[in-house]
C-alpha cells in the first residue's frame, strides 16, 4: 500500500511539472492549455469539445474497469485551483500518471465547456427536450 502511494505521488509530481509556469508557479488546469486555441466560437467547435470530453470519460471508465480499487483526490494550489490528482490503486506509477493526466484534461475541458457562450450550444433535437426547456 505504501509503495503504491509513493508511486502515485511520484506520478502526480511528474505531471505537475508539466503545468509549471516560467516562474515556477503552478498553473490551473485551464492555463496548461493556454498555448492552444481554447475558445469555442461555433456549434461545431462545441461538438468537438463535447466529443473530446466523451473520449476522456470512456478512458476513465476503462481505467476503473482495469483497476477496481482506483481512487483519486484532487490537490489544490494556493488559490483553490486544482493542480493535480493523487491517484491510488492504479497498479503502477505509469498508470497513475496516465489517469491523472485524463483527470486534468477533463478538468480543463470542463472549465472551457462551462464558459461557452450559449449561442454556440447545439439546439435540442427532440420535441420532448424542447418542451422541457420551454418550461424553464
Q: What is the tens place of the pLDDT at every residue in 57-80?
A: 999 999 999 999 999 999 999 999
Higher pLDDT, 31 or 73: 73
Report the Cα–Cα distance between both ends of the chain, in Å, rounded.
49
pLDDT tens digits for 37-57?
Answer: 567 888 888 889 999 999 999
State residue 89 phi and psi, 5-degree precision: 80, 20
Q: What is the pLDDT of residue 14?
A: 40
Check residues 70 and 129 and name the one with the higher pLDDT. 70
Q: Which residues contact 40 (CB under 8 A, 6 or more apart)?
A: 46, 49, 112, 113, 116, 117, 120
pTM (two decimals) = 0.64
* The pLDDT of residue 20 is above 70: no
**Integer angstrom CA distances of residue 127 from 43, 47, 124, 135:** 20, 20, 8, 13
When pLDDT is cut at 50, 70 and 90, the band that residue 90 belongs to is very high
Please give the DSSP secondary-structure letter assigned to residue 5. H
- Report the alpha-carbon distance of residue 91 to residue 7 in Å, rounded: 9
Cα–Cα distance measured from residue 125 to residue 17, given in angstroms and rounded to the nearest whole number: 43
- 89 versus 135: the higher-pLDDT residue is 89
Higher pLDDT: 74 or 1? It is: 74
Amino acid at each position: 500500500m505504501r509503495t503504491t502511494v509513493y508511486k502515485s505521488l511520484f506520478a502526480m509530481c511528474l505531471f505537475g511539472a508539466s503545468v509549471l509556469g516560467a516562474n515556477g508557479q503552478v498553473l490551473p488546469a485551464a492555463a496548461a492549455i493556454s498555448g492552444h486555441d481554447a475558445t469555442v466560437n461555433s456549434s461545431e467547435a462545441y461538438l468537438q469539445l463535447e466529443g473530446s470530453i466523451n473520449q476522456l470519460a470512456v478512458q476513465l471508465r476503462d481505467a476503473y474497469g482495469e483497476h477496481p480499487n482506483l481512487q483519486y483526490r484532487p490537490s489544490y494550489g494556493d488559490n483553490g485551483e486544482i493542480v493535480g490528482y493523487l491517484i491510488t490503486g492504479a497498479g503502477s506509477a505509469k498508470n497513475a500518471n496516465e489517469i491523472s493526466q485524463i483527470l486534468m484534461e477533463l478538468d480543463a475541458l470542463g472549465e472551457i465547456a462551462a464558459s461557452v457562450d450559449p449561442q454556440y450550444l447545439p439546439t435540442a433535437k427532440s420535441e420532448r427536450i424542447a418542451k422541457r426547456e420551454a418550461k424553464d
